[in-house]
Structure 1
Amino acid sequence: MKRVLVTAGANGIGLVMARAFAAAGCRVHVTDVDAEAVAAVPDGITATLCDAGDEGAMAALFAGFAADWGGLDVLCANAGIKGPTAAIEDMGLDDWHQCLGVNLDGAMLAAKYGARLMKPARSGVMIFTSSTSGLYGTPFRAPYVAAKWGVIGLMKTVAMELGPHGIRANAICPGSVNGPRIDRVIAAEAEAKGMTEGAVRQGYASGTAMKRLTDPEDVADMALFLASDAARMVTGQAIAVDGMTYNVDP
């Protein structure tokens, strides 16, 4: 039975990934900063209230895995926030730091402590949640874009460092994923651009080859594949799950 940790796994994409791994017969634990969501995780999944950007909390979390589970097979470094939506000339430094702190520092800490568990076993899979915003620029989203590019660079370096120890690392780059987060992003972007939310949403969908937004289950299916033996030679890759986005400015 594979042992799986999903950070920010009590909500949104993370919860859908956690459910998919549990349905596949894995032992799944999630972390989140949302106490209400942590208390409401489905049966068969355990949960801890934990800030992925807090090194002390993350160190304690992974120490618990070492003691209780004896190791970790799959790490989904999924924690992230949308960050501010603003023109670069209006961007606040505190907002910038907060966005990078959650999205990039959280990924680094997960990789740091995950490696300490996986290296002795000479096996393991790390799956980082980046974004198609990590593959190109997105207007009015500078901190988020910078963080998600950083996640891909982190992933590629981790893949190089840990490959000789039998550990693979990849990043999933979702496009616009249906759910509460994209609803908030669209609302903020509509306000920043003076557009209606419906027009912004349609712009996101029409800018893809598939002409629709991604579902969280699409992302979960890719995570299951990357964690499987079928992907045993897939490492260091940033894989878009987005219906092929080609217009990034709706």
Structure 2
Amino acid sequence: MKRALITAGGSGIGLAMGHAFEAAGYDVWVTDIDRDALAACPRTWTCCAADVASEDDMRRLFQEIAAAGGIDVVCANAGVAGPTASVEHVALEDWKTCVDITLGGAFLTAKYATPLMKAAGAGAIIVTSSTAGVFGYPNRAPYAAAKWGVIGLMKTLAMELGPFGIRANAICPGAVEGPRMEGVLEREADSKGMSRDQVYEGYAAGTSMRCFVEARDIADMAVFLASDGARRVSGQVISVDGHTENPDPKP
């Protein structure tokens, strides 16, 4: 049975990925810093508490995976929203936290997955970026910079690892229904003097499909990118966002 690891797999997009990979026949491993979320995951999954920004944690996690027989698919999904503020009001510590977790975590995940995949002569690395990694994004400088960064990391991985049979791709979600996006909506509404509903409508109106996406839409794309149906797909940035046209929602 093939094995898939999802970082930040205890909730949201990561949890949906876990369910989708299990439905596709994978042995699912998830890691998260939220132990309560891990405890609520299906008992058929292997759940490990780990901080993706900690090299010690990630080294230990992949030692466990190696002992279990290796890894076929890695979804570097962990990230944080970071502050919602104009750049002159962003604290350096908040910048570092967002970049360390979102970009640094993807780097450490790839760093320790790569030797196992090289030994197997195959593998798929899927990073979760964002439409913020494709457009400039007002009032979200740390998040946008980190999400652009994971795309650069992915493209480099695709070039470095392709000769070893390892593919790398990025998924760029748009606005995803759920608690995390609700927090973004509320903070953005506060920073712009708008209502939460006005910001929500602005995001939806900024897509050609006039809708948010759901976590399962991202998960389904991850399963496809890991499959033999995508065996020649590598180095690609694939948006699952209902076609975002305007990254700066307005009332």
TM-score (norm 2): 0.98
Ranges in structure 1 where 5+ consecutive residues have no aligned partner: none
Matched with 1:191 is 190
Count of residues in Structure 1 that have an aligned counterpart in Structure 2? 249
Give the share of equivalent positions with the same residue, in percent.
58
The corresponding residue for 1:219 is 218
2:72 counterpart letter in structure 1: D
Residue 148 of structure 1: aligned partner: 147
Amino acid at match of 1:7: T
In the other structure, the counterpart of 1:203 is 202
SS in 1 for 2:70: coil
Deviation string, structure 1 residues 132-180 (Cα, Å, up to 9, x no partner): 1000111100000000000000000000000000000000000000011
Report the Cα distance in structure 2 between the residues aligned to 1:242 and 1:59, rounded to whole angstroms. 33
Q: Which residue number corresponds to residue 128 of structure 2?
A: 129
Counterparts of 1:1-250 in structure 2 under 5 Å?
1-68=1-68, 70-250=69-249
4+ runs deviating over 2 angstroms: none
Q: Supply the distance in 1 between the matched residues of 2:32 and 2:160 (Cα, whole angstroms).
A: 28
TM-superposed deviation, 1:46: 1.6
Secondary structure class of the residue paired with 2:124: strand
Q: Distance in 2 between matches of 1:23 and 1:170?
A: 21
Give CA deviations for 1:97-126 in whole Å, capped at 9, x if unaligned.
Answer: 000010000000000001011001110000
Structure 2, unaligned runs of 5 or more? none
Cα distance in 2, alignment partners of residues 35 and 64 from structure 1: 18
Using the alignment, how far apart are the partners of 2:248 and 2:75 within structure 1? 29
Q: Residue 148 of structure 1 aligns to a residue in which SS?
A: helix
Aligned-partner SS, 1:249: coil
- AA in 1 matched with 2:167: R
Distance in structure 2 (CA, Å) of the matches to 1:180 and 1:52: 21
Amino acid at match of 2:25: G
Q: Cα RMSD between the aligned structures?
A: 0.6
Provide the C-alpha distance between the structure 2 equivalents of 1:177 and 1:241, rounded to a whole number of angstroms: 10
Secondary structure of 1:21 counterpart: helix
Question: TM-score, normalising length from structure 1?
Answer: 0.99
**Residues in 2 aligned to 1:102 and 1:186: alpha-carbon distance in whole angstroms:** 21
CA distance in 2, matches of 1:226, 1:24: 12
Amino acid at match of 1:61: L
Q: Which amino acid letter does the alignment assign opposite residue 137 of structure 1?
A: G
CA displacement, residues 191-233 of structure 1 (integer Å, 9 cap, x when unaligned): 0001000000010001000000011111011001000000000
Secondary structure at 2:136's aligned position in 1?
Answer: coil
Whole-Å separation in 2 of the counterparts to 1:196 and 1:177: 19
